[in-house]
Amino acid sequence: MTSKEVLEYAKKNDVRQLDLRFTDLPGLQQHLSYPITQLDEDSFEEGFGIDGSSIRGWAAINESDMLLIPDPETAIIDPFTEVRTLVMLADVIDPITRQHYDRDPRWIAKKAEMYLQNSGLADIAYFGAEPEFFIFDNISFDQNQHSGYYYIDAEEGRWNSGRKRDNLGYRPRYKEGYFPVPPTDHYQDLRAEMVETMIRCGLKIECHHHEVATGGQCEIDQKFDTLVKSADNVMLYKYIIRNVAYQYGKTVTFMPKPIFGDNGSGMHVHQSLWKNGAPLFAGDGYAGLSQMALWYLGGLLHHARALSAIIAPTTNSYKRLVPGYEAPVNLAYSRRNRSAACRIPMYSASPKSKRVEFRPPDPSANPYLAFAAQMMAGLDGIINKIEPGEPLDKDIYDLSPEDLKSVPSMPGSLGEALNCLEDDHDFLLKGDVFTDELLETFILYKQKAEVDAVRLRPHPYEFALYYDI
């Protein structure tokens, strides 16, 4: 919609409130609300003033004045509010220079799209993400000077099979949730409600299903879209899933590894480049890929260790990215083989469906930064003609330790990943898509607020290991 159409839409639908949303550096969506009378055509130029000093990873208090400029193309009616509310995403603008704010993740994603178009290599990058999530019935956690714990409960969790009362059974075994019918799958109706709400909000959904883990792990797949639009869609996807679950008395987490001893949640990212309406990744090379696609793969694999800080950006991410378990930590590529970090799906022979799938990312990532960084790595591979090496069509988990020595792997911790990003980030700076200042801020925030914060606190399992030492 245009700005004028948004105003007409709001009037026609008796909208009473305006909600503007933006995303902070770690990837949490923020919002401010106004009476709808505050919105007029000038608002789409002049914006709405906010204080950005308390937003994580943003400006210091002496440079905190910001403007939110509504994007009319993102307008929807919020499906959850009692008072009719119009929602729009907003771009963050410096009120003095009237320039986009360099720490606004959505602006970084837009710059990535502009860099692609200016490169002449392609004009569109399509991204399709598959964020997995858990549905729990109760979550409690605390950490203080003398105690630390978390407690998860899910009616569907296999650990409840021995409960003496109010127990009807039918729970997925550990690592066997992919994918039995109801009643073992407890959440068919809940996911269907999520999907229906997504469709009403304009998302295009392809399928939904239970995932591998017990305790309510699920996945809902969206249709691919352009880079920025796909990131927008991930944020809306998360909002809808959390709120539908909340209405059902459930709680959802996109935390990568909340349950010990079962699968974690990934966010596999499918990606392809197009130019003048034609797909560029289809060819006569390995798995039907073009030379451009193979170089793109080479860039992803070459920069994967640096990318890890952005696409798996939490200390918990590395509880999932563990060698020998379910997540693809080994940096290789293969057709069909899901144990490789890069997979070439083979569902269709159509050139339009030819794409690469990068499997290490998880849903704790900020999608604007994660999609932009992956594309920048792939483009660097094309520009510098980085070969991905030989494909690995064996099951990587069955390789001998000697064979595995020749296969590079993802970092083993967030601290290691941040070091990798610090050492290898020039590819992100091209076209001023990312800036040194932004990356320094990101690394410092992650190091102090997450890596150091976790490292300073005793872990509950340390008491089991060391109390009597």
Pairing of strands 85-93, 17-23: parallel
State in Å, rounded, how far the first CA of the chain is from the last one. Answer: 66
- Which of 266, 267, 268, 294 shows the shortest CA–CA distance to 282? 294
Residues in the chain, overall count = 469
Catalytic residue among 186, 210, 268, 302: 268
Q: How many whole angstroms from its chain centre is CA 222?
A: 13
Q: Which residue has the tokens 């900020």?
A: 366
What DSSP element (H or E) covers 243?
helix 227-247
The span from the CA of 362 to the CA of 265, in Å, is 6
Centre a 10 Å sphere on the Cβ of residue 77 and count the other Cβ atoms it contains. 15
336 assigned to active site: no
Catalytic residue among 106, 242, 359, 425: 359
Catalytic residue among 24, 104, 113, 132: 132
Catalytic residue among 8, 40, 46, 51: 51
338 assigned to active site: yes
196 assigned to active site: no
H helix intervals, 278-413: 291-302, 304-311, 317-320, 367-383, 401-404
For residue 114, give the amino acid letter. Answer: M
Per the CB < 8 A criterion, the answer to whether 276 and 334 are in contact is no
Catalytic residue among 113, 219, 326, 362: 219
Catalytic residue among 211, 232, 262, 362: 211
At 21, is the secondary structure helix, strand, or coil? strand
Catalytic residue among 56, 163, 336, 338: 338
Catalytic residue among 357, 362, 380, 450: 357
The span from the CA of 243 to the CA of 134, in Å, is 14
219 assigned to active site: yes
Catalytic residue among 78, 130, 221, 326: 130
Q: Which residue has the tokens 């300073």?
A: 456
Beta strands in 137-290 (DSSP E): 138-143, 148-153, 205-210, 217-222, 225-226, 251-253, 267-275, 278-279
335 assigned to active site: no
- Treating both helix axes as pointing N-terminal to C-terminal, what angle do 304-311 and 367-383 enclose, rounded to 10 degrees? 170
- Tell me the C-alpha to C-alpha distance, in Å, between residue 227 and each of 54, 112, 125, 372, 464: 28, 8, 6, 7, 46
Per the CB < 8 A criterion, the answer to whether 282 and 276 are in contact is no
The span from the CA of 220 to the CA of 268, in Å, is 12
51 assigned to active site: yes
The span from the CA of 259 to the CA of 253, in Å, is 11
For residue 319, give the amino acid letter. Answer: K
The span from the CA of 338 to the CA of 322, in Å, is 15
390 assigned to active site: no
- Return the active site residues: 51, 130, 132, 211, 219, 268, 338, 357, 359
